[in-house]
Amino acid sequence: MSIIIRRAKKEDCPRLLELVKELAEYEKAPDEVTVSLEHFTDSGFGAHPVWWAFVAESPGPTLSPSPEGRETSSHIVGCALYYIRFSTWKGQRMYLEDIIVSKDYRGKGIGKMLFERLMEEAKEKKLKGMVWQVLEWNEPAIHFYEKYNASFDNGWVNVTMDW
């Protein structure tokens, strides 16, 4: 399977949001995705973008038709979305918000390609490292990250506030 990793473009946003919703289903939280396509797109491609992404694109016909019911000549089958955060202890670091590979394409090395492209990007930008979260029950993801000698920190508690 030939996969192309490229930077996301504004016109990719509808498909990226579909992948986010697919991830939410996998994580047993389908109702938690409340961001609108407009806000999602503006946040990545508006006047002041706060996120960037890479996509994994499969040339040729898709394994399944597009949501509109048509075959496409290429199809985004995965993505990795990140932003830059600042640590007062470490400096600027890449924060991996999501790495998603569509269900039919998992186990084909696409996640590895996306992850390694993120590491390249962080090094090119001279960032001091990369951080992310993984659900404690997501054993496939944990085993994937262990292959890269990632450090797991069980000493922190996630805290959020919504309004």
Model confidence over 9-56: pLDDT tens digits?
999 999 999 999 999 999 999 999 999 999 999 999 999 999 999 999
Q: What pTM was computed for the model?
A: 0.86
Exactly one of 26, 82, 95, 145 is catalytic; name it: 145
Q: In the chain, what is the straight-line distance between the N-terminal and C-terminal CA atoms, in Å?
A: 44
Report yes or no on 155 lying in a domain. no
Domain count, the chain: 1
Considering the domain boundaries, does residue 156 fall inside one? no
Q: Residue 135: which CATH number?
A: 3.40.630.30
> What element of type H or E holds 124?
helix 110-124
Active site residue 145: yes
Q: What residue numbers bound the domain in which 28 lies? A: 4-146
